[in-house]
Amino acid sequence: MASVWLRLVDVTVAEPPRTLTGFLHHEQSAAYGRITAMPHPVYLVRHGQSQWNVRRLTQGQTAHPPLTDLGRSQSAAAAELIAADLDDLGLTAQRLVSSDLTRAVETAETIGARMLLTVDTDTRLREQHLGELEGRSYVETWAAAEEFDWSDPTLPIAGGESLMDVYDRMAAVLEEIDPAGVAILVSHGDAIRAAVAYLNGVKPHESDWVEVANGAVARIDGTIT
């Protein structure tokens, strides 16, 4: 059984009300994934801080919130970190794919400008659709979320998606990555957590919580069988 590991590349300023606790440092055998080989790294990037992060509004798949000045700085920092990491590895990136939501696209465009790559979009990299919770304040969202059974990964949240919906689409993106080149994927906090669960060989509700700060970057190396 091959091993997979996600290495910490950067931790930047987390969105409120989260604290700066890092991303992930992990090495573990994985049995659930079906990626056959990853001889080149794949980078997972969370978008920079958005205006709705600052306003403490639940975004989900709300498309329009743009980045703040800090979010643009975080995106530029992520780009520099990936560039430096690739330089150390003697590699270059071949593909840059982003969620089509504005905050992710703006992050990806900054990375693309640094890497001389055009941005492709993939709706499967979107954040979890949170239905009626989207647009509510964090306080309202937390209160409403208590009505849902989060231990059931198949339960759609507030008329949106279930955790398994997000998990399955993120897994599909990872399975389709061309192992012959370096890919950069720009996505969102809960979607990246679902990807981490998949790579660890567990279902999303079984995975340990992973703090994914705005602008955080994780590098995936290895193989999953």
Burial code (b: 16+ CB inside 10 Å, e: under 16) for 160-194 equals bbbbbbbbebbbebbeebeeeebbbbbbbbbbbbb
**pLDDT tens digit sequence for 176-204:** 998 889 999 999 999 999 998 898 888 88
Q: CA nearest 184: which of 23, 45, 84, 4? A: 45
Instruction: Examine the residue annotation and report whether 109 is marked as an active-site residue of this protein.
Output: no
Say what the pLDDT of residue 222 is. Answer: 61
Say what the pLDDT of residue 38 is. Answer: 63
Q: Are 48 and 107 in contact (CB under 8 A)?
A: yes
Say what the pLDDT of residue 28 is. Answer: 31
Q: Write out the chain's pLDDT in tens, 225 residues.
A: 223 334 444 433 333 333 222 333 333 333 334 444 567 889 999 999 999 999 999 999 999 999 999 999 999 999 999 999 999 999 999 999 999 999 999 999 999 999 999 999 999 999 999 999 999 999 999 898 888 887 889 999 999 999 999 999 999 999 999 888 999 999 999 999 999 889 888 888 888 888 889 999 988 876 433
Q: Which of 15, 106, 109, 127 is catalytic?
A: 127
Say what the pLDDT of residue 36 is. Answer: 43
Tell me the sheet residues that pair with 7.
219
Say what the pLDDT of residue 173 is. Answer: 96
The torsion region of residue 56 among left (phi > 0), alpha (psi -120 to 50) and beta comes to left
Say what the pLDDT of residue 200 is. Answer: 81
Say what the pLDDT of residue 37 is. Answer: 52
User: What strand order describes the sheet that includes 217-222?
Assistant: 26-29, 3-10, 217-222, 42-46, 182-187, 93-98, 119-121
- Domains of the chain (ranges, CATH numbers): 3-222 (3.40.50.1240)
Nearest 5 degrees, angle CA 40-CA 47-CA 22? 75
Say what the pLDDT of residue 211 is. Answer: 83
Instruction: Examine the residue annotation and report whether 127 is marked as an active-site residue of this protein.
Output: yes
